[in-house]
Amino acid sequence: MLDGHSFLDICSAASAEVKKAVSPLIGTAYGSENIVMGADNTPTERLDKVAEDIILKIFSEKKVCKYILSEEAGLVDIGGDSGIAYLDPIDGSFNAGEGIPFYAVSIALSDGVDVIAGFVMNLANGETFTAVKGEGSKLNGKPIHVSNKSELRSSAMSIYCRTQEMKSMIIEKGIHVRRCRMLGASAIELSYVACGRLDGFLDLRGNLRVTDAAAGILICREAGGIVSLPDGSECVFKDDVKYGSKLLVANPEIHRIVTGLMG
């Protein structure tokens, strides 16, 4: 398995190729056409497949690790000696298909125990969030940190929930935030928590997969964020694109307040 820095270099080169290849497909019916059923049981759009094929090819040539677990292709042995990469080739496929400029490549590398590096590139504007375990997080190469907002009522959070959860978990539990967002690409939203643009990310749906979240979680942790289930207990993802979880990621004070209300 490659070290974290070599992994990030390859992610960067591969994502530049993906950006070029998908750009004519963005905002087109052809790009968003469903072409097969993905391993995660949701349809794979043409732009997902184009992006995934490029990354699988480059990661196989460079023998980055032993396996890739990808949202569309599932578990693929790419011939390295150890480790697993979690790939969402396009996080925010709907946004990409509709021409909403908020969609990303998200890739994390694990040694089988811990995620050791994370990479998220917003393909619409090229912003790149990275982290290597123990070394902090960066946006376009510059160190980033979570916000220091300490009042829930003045905070901005991404909150994903269904109507019933909005009533029973958000309104009734008193999760009153100043600005509530649901931007459609969790990997970027987690990265926005890492750099302080958002104060937290709360997903109550229970269908966030390891491929959506692994990179963004490391980027948040390394930027000083706290990660758990909404009630404060440990969040453990499975190496399975059909397994979904809830998630809370926030700066330490907002995390303390939300888990206090949710627990």
- Give contact residues for ligand IPD (rule: CB under 6 A): 91-94, 160, 184-186, 212
Residue that the structure tokens 């960067």 belong to: 12
Cβ-based nearer residue to Ca ion, 40 or 199? 40
Cβ-based nearer residue to Ca ion, 51 or 157? 51
Closest approach, Cβ 241 to Ca ion, in A, equals: 10
Cβ-based nearer residue to ligand IPD, 52 or 91? 91
Cβ-based nearer residue to Ca ion, 93 or 158? 93
Binding residue (CB under 5 A) for Ca ion from 45, 88, 199, 222:
88
Q: Can you name the residues that pair with 15 across neighbouring β-strands?
A: none
Of 182, 235, 183, 189, which is closest to residue 212 (Cα–Cα)? 189
CA 237, distance to chain mean position in Å, is 13
Burial grade of 258 (CB within 10 A; 0-12, 13-18, 19 or more): buried
Of 146, 116, 153, which is closest to residue 133 (Cα–Cα)? 116
Closest approach, Cβ 209 to ligand IPD, in A, equals: 8
Contact 258, 230 (CB under 8 A): yes
# binding residues, Ca ion (CB under 5 A): 4
Of 50, 259, 60, 43, which is closest to residue 68 (Cα–Cα)? 60
Which range, of 49-57, 80-88, 193-201, 241-249, touches Ca ion by CB under 5 A? Answer: 80-88
Q: Of these partners, ligand IPD, Ca ion, none, which one is at the site of residue 78 (CB under 5 to 8 Å by kind)?
A: none
Residue 118 CA to residue 184 CA, distance in Å, equals 19
Residue 88 CA to residue 44 CA, distance in Å, equals 11
Cβ-based nearer residue to Ca ion, 91 or 253? 91
Q: Is 220 left (phi over 0), alpha (psi -120 to 50) or beta?
A: alpha
Closest approach, Cβ 149 to ligand IPD, in A, equals: 22
Closest approach, Cβ 105 to ligand IPD, in A, equals: 12
Give Cα separations from 49 to 54, 235, 252 (angstroms).
Answer: 9, 29, 38
Of 63, 193, 204, which is closest to residue 131 (Cα–Cα)? 193
Which range, of 14-22, 63-71, 180-188, 238-246, touches Ca ion by CB under 5 A? Answer: 63-71
Closest approach, Cβ 91 to ligand IPD, in A, equals: 5
Cβ-based nearer residue to ligand IPD, 212 or 253? 212
Query: Counting contacts by CB under 5 A, is residue 40 touching Ca ion?
Result: no
Closest approach, Cβ 201 to ligand IPD, in A, equals: 9
Closest approach, Cβ 108 to ligand IPD, in A, equals: 14
Cβ–Cβ contacts within 10 Å for residue 90, how many? 30
Q: Of these partners, Ca ion, ligand IPD, none, which one is at the site of residue 222 (CB under 5 to 8 Å by kind)?
A: none
- Residue 24 three-state SS: helix
Cβ-based nearer residue to Ca ion, 122 or 228? 122
Residues at the site binding Ca ion, with contacts judged by CB under 5 A: 71, 88, 90, 93
